[in-house]
Amino acid sequence: MPQAAKSPKSSTRAKKITAPLRNSDIAELLALQAETAKMPAQKALRRASRRALMWPEEAAEILRAGRSLTDLAGVGPYIERVIKDWLQDPPAVPIPPPIRRNFFTYADTQTILGKKPTWLASIKGDLQMHTTWSDGEGSIAEMADAAVERGYEYIAITDHTKGLKIAGGINEEQVREQAEEIAAVNHSLRSDGENLQVLRSVELNLNPRGEGDMDEQCLAALDIVVGCFHSSLRGKQDQTERYLAGLRNRSINILGHPRGRIYNFRLGLIAEWRRVFDLAAELDKAVEIDGYPDRQDLSIDLVRLAKKSGCKISLSTDSHGPSQLRFIEYSAAIALKAGIPPERILNFMSREDLLDWASKRRE
């Protein structure tokens, strides 16, 4: 069997053979090959594995059309040769380990969304993104322009708060200054006859006790608040209590990227998720599907669980630049595939209803 020689080893997990290989298979093969490769190949393989989640087309299709795979992000001549060998002679692909499991590729999202074209078109806004005020690359006006392109009614600007120094978190004074810039952007949107409104928000940094790092009065003045954990994300112990405490934090509406997982880098936290989602439902708060491709957090298995609890779901991109607003297709696809009813998704609400819900939940 010639393909046995090419198949990345080091796994006793169940294997499947799919032909042609899909980008999800290629991502897994690249990650596996990286485990035994030497530098610098290892780094290139790991990067290509992560980038494969974002490739706009199936690599197999590109090759079939006689085009070069180096058009794809993260693919140079070396990676192209590796992938070509696999496509020509497909090895068995193991089921990914938990650190790479339940991630959709962009090609997957297109298949899912293609089954219900109205779904994506019904999304009225994006509820997590960063600007140059913290660690984003675009200004508020640039993010707003990209949102107008998508036909949105609203976007929430959720720069990091002061406790997260590494991401340039902003303090209360800066939040107030940012309000003036948002007001000016909204004013110019209105004078241009645009329907978009930029909402004031933050990605509130929560400590493991569920407490925020900002003055509550400052948060009360915002339109909507996302709360996220960014510390102690590698513990193996059950973290249910931290999530329950985070949800009970009166300042927040949405629990953002709940697991804290990153593709092939960090598994994320463990909790009795059913209890977490049940409390979110009881308090009428939302849990997020962060669509950033290497987060996809909540993952689909947990979104299915959240569906049973009946809590609200927030879709976001966690964009760090205007071009990343397209990542909404990942969160939208996960919600659709999990069968979340539209009325439970914040992003299907009108701006008025969303703002009404957000302010009532924080009274």
The binding site for Zn ion (CB under 5 A) comprises: 228
266 vs 351, which CB is nearer to Zn ion? Answer: 266
Q: What does the buried/exposed string (b/e) look like for 231-249 if buried means 16 or more CB atoms within 10 Å of the residue's CB?
A: eebeeeeebbebbbbbbeb
Q: Please report how close the Cβ of residue 249 comes to Zn ion at its closest, in angstroms.
A: 16
Q: Please report how close the Cβ of residue 253 comes to Zn ion at its closest, in angstroms.
A: 15
C-alpha 48: how far from chain center: 19
Q: What's the rounded Cα separation, in Å, for the pair 77 and 360? A: 55
Q: Using alpha carbons only, give the angle 51, 56, 62 rounded to the nearest 5 degrees.
A: 100
Q: Please report how close the Cβ of residue 230 comes to Zn ion at its closest, in angstroms.
A: 6
Q: Do residues 194 and 152 touch, judged by C-beta distance below 8 A?
A: no
Q: Please report how close the Cβ of residue 213 comes to Zn ion at its closest, in angstroms.
A: 13
N-terminal to C-terminal alpha carbon distance within the chain: 66
228 vs 315, which CB is nearer to Zn ion? Answer: 228
**Closest of 74, 84, 175 to residue 133, by C-alpha:** 175
Q: Please report how close the Cβ of residue 88 comes to Zn ion at its closest, in angstroms.
A: 41
Closest chain position to Zn ion (CB): 228
β pairing state of 93-94 and 15-16? antiparallel
175 vs 228, which CB is nearer to Zn ion? Answer: 228
**Closest of 192, 120, 190, 108 to residue 150, by C-alpha:** 120
186 vs 253, which CB is nearer to Zn ion? Answer: 253
206 vs 218, which CB is nearer to Zn ion? Answer: 206
